[in-house]
Structure 1
Amino acid sequence: MSNVFGSNSIDIPSKESIWQVFQTVKDIPGLNLVEKAWASYYVYMDNDLFATGLLFFLLHEVMYFGRCLPWYIIDRTPYFKKYKIQPNIYPSDKEQWECTKSVLKSHFFVEALPIWFFHPICEKIGVSYDVPFPSWSKIALQVSIFFFLEDAWHYWFHRGIHYGSFYRIIHKQHHRYAAPFGLAAEYAHPIEVMLLGFGTVGIPIVWCYFTRDLHLFTICIWITLRLFQAIDAHSGYEFPISLHHFLLIWAGADHHDEHHHHFIGNYASSFRLWDYFLDTEAGDTAKKTREKHSKTRAELMAQKT
């Protein structure tokens, strides 16, 4: 039987369906509905390695394409054209389908295999998957840390694959679409998928290796939010309620759309800090800001001399 209940001994007889398992688990005190569903799933599967692998594969597929679907509908709805960052460029159905096929190939032939080894790694480094879950405050803190760490990883490696042969061999595929759309978030060369993907999956692993304090449910929340961020950044739409209007350091679609439009600058994934402080912002506004800074520095140097 699964160790989802940790050190507690819970006697759950073999059942015919996951619903019957849930009927037994739901009577266990101290668990909320999500925790009961989580425990029922692991008990029903009765194979933690397979259960975790299937969970993460389905999580990725459902959250990725589920989040892409609204943007596909928005692209086909004339009302939203006024919010399109590049209003005269829309992906055709053929382009959307070609992109979808490429992304699915990546999911099945590049990402699927490592997913099935994720549970043994979790057990080795101490990632917990039992119930109850950590507090929401701990989950929020750890996910916030992952966002900042991933952003740093993404900035430097994304900037790196924009140089010379790295761009031509690896990153050029992702820049096929100068006006990005949601499905294009993971349209990339297999090497890029693994390299930048490590920031999403590898950072929690490294975190747990040193802290021995991480839950698999927290990783699920983190991956879901990271997927939503990546897809929204590629959506090609800027709304008055876009998050960066309220959280000024947030990157958002306008930040990443400039990267695709100009093919350079705005390398970070979630925040604007790295690009701002290292002077790698993209677009006409950023260009004017850099020119202003250069002029100010030149005037100060002239005054000193």
Structure 2
Amino acid sequence: MKRISILTSFSNVLSNSPIDIIPNSTFSQNYQILSSLDSSSVQLNFLEKLWASYYLYMNNDIFATGLLFFTLHELMYFGRCLPWYIIDCIPYFQKYKIQPSKIPSNKEQWECLKSVLISHFLVEAFPIWFFHPVCNLIGISYQVPFPSWSSIALEIFIFFSLEDLWHYVFHRALHYGVFYKYIHKQHHRYAAPFGLAAEYAHPIEVALLGLGTVGIPMVWAWFSQSLHLFTVCIWITLRLFQAVDAHSGYEFPWSLHHFLPFWAGADHHDLHHHYFIGNYASSFRWWDFTLDTEAGPEAKVEREERMRLKAEAKKLK
């Protein structure tokens, strides 16, 4: 059977590789061929072989990346929402519910689901399907092998930190005047949030806050020229998990913020929905603490106490 070099095929996922690929080969055939690299100078792990086999099988990098990201978003978002829906249906877990008197009904869950699906297909799908050309333009790599895990971890921490600041600034801005009335009010329909409500929002809000999630890695890629699409996939997955968990409405003894005090979590964001102001950050607590925008009665008492002490200190001068 005639073979062609991977460098002359549509996909360049194996740049500068000496291996030959059979045209129109199956996913399994591609994986087997890639496994033969184990004895050569190029070593690929299991995930890298799967990644390369997928791109080679699709033979259309634009479609492959679009399908990958759209499928990843749907599976990770709804896959993470499903456990919280199940927990909402089990009375045992109500003792961990932050607002135990407000369990979402099936009707509320269904209405929220329909709205989120419409947003996914009519707002988010379009830019996702055209993401690959942007990757090529700004230097996001999709070739194998992947970067080291230490590099991936560092970049994801940077993205979490920068996105948290972006989210704080624009989320707080959305609580002012007409921005709240005509845009952000939709997201506050549920005073006691639940997992599916994480992306229940006005299209403008979806685009604005989503730009922090997607735009920050793009800017990073433009300046660093070292970002990999696999890193972006992990980042998107973790960010979706964080958003869904923050809206879950449950506080467990094993919740992450008990081990990482600066992590926001569901208790932090639930107070935002309950009181409608304060706790604007997405992932961490430090911006609300530093800028004195913590929500809830305890934060109010602490704030008033600090103001009292400050006033007394001025009188003593």
**TM-score, scaled relative to structure 1:** 0.98
Distance in 2 separating the partners of 1:258 and 1:27: 55
Name 1:210's counterpart in structure 2. Answer: 223
Name 1:240's counterpart in structure 2. Answer: 253
Name 1:20's counterpart in structure 2. Answer: 29
Name 2:138's counterpart in structure 1. Answer: 125
Are 1:177 and 1:260, in contact at CA under 8 Å, matched by a contact in 2? Answer: yes
Are 1:128 and 1:214, in contact at CA under 8 Å, matched by a contact in 2? Answer: yes
Are 1:182 and 1:231, in contact at CA under 8 Å, matched by a contact in 2? Answer: yes
1:61 to 56, 62, 74: 74
* Residue 20 of structure 1, CA deviation: 2.2
Distance in 1 separating the partners of 2:60 and 2:48: 18
Distance in 1 separating the partners of 2:64 and 2:58: 6
Distance in 2 separating the partners of 1:49 and 1:26: 25
* Residue 5 of structure 1, CA deviation: 0.7
**1:19-53 deviation per Cα after TM superposition (whole angstroms, max 9, x unaligned):** 22222222222111111000000000000000000
Q: How does 1:158-237 map to 2 (within 5 A)?
A: 158-237=171-250
* Residue 17 of structure 1, CA deviation: 2.5
Name 1:114's counterpart in structure 2. Answer: 127
Are 1:71 and 1:182, in contact at CA under 8 Å, matched by a contact in 2? Answer: yes
Kindly tell me the number of residue pairs found equivalent between the two proteins: 304
Distance in 1 separating the partners of 2:310 and 2:185: 35
Name 1:256's counterpart in structure 2. Answer: 269
Matched position secondary structure for 2:30: helix
Distance in 2 separating the partners of 1:48 and 1:284: 52
1:297 maps onto 2:306 in alignment = no
Distance in 2 separating the partners of 1:284 and 1:272: 16
Name 1:100's counterpart in structure 2. Answer: 113
* Residue 162 of structure 1, CA deviation: 0.3
Match of 1:300, as an amino acid? A
Distance in 2 separating the partners of 1:119 and 1:33: 23
Distance in 1 separating the partners of 2:17 and 2:174: 49
1:72 maps onto 2:81 in alignment = no
* Residue 18 of structure 1, CA deviation: 1.5
Distance in 1 separating the partners of 2:302 and 2:36: 62
Are 1:173 and 1:189, in contact at CA under 8 Å, matched by a contact in 2? Answer: yes
**1:84-113 deviation per Cα after TM superposition (whole angstroms, max 9, x unaligned):** 000010111011011001000000000000
Matched position secondary structure for 1:28: helix
Are 1:174 and 1:188, in contact at CA under 8 Å, matched by a contact in 2? Answer: yes
**1:231-271 deviation per Cα after TM superposition (whole angstroms, max 9, x unaligned):** 00000000011010111100000000000000000000000
**1:42-86 deviation per Cα after TM superposition (whole angstroms, max 9, x unaligned):** 000000000000000000000000000000000011111111000
* Residue 7 of structure 1, CA deviation: 2.3
* Residue 16 of structure 1, CA deviation: 4.7
Gaps of 5+ in 1: none
Match of 2:207, as an amino acid? M
In the TM superposition, structure 1's runs of 4+ consecutive aligned residues that sit over 6 Å from their partners are: none
Are 1:180 and 1:257, in contact at CA under 8 Å, matched by a contact in 2? Answer: yes
Are 1:15 and 1:21, in contact at CA under 8 Å, matched by a contact in 2? Answer: no
Gaps of 5+ in 2: 1-8
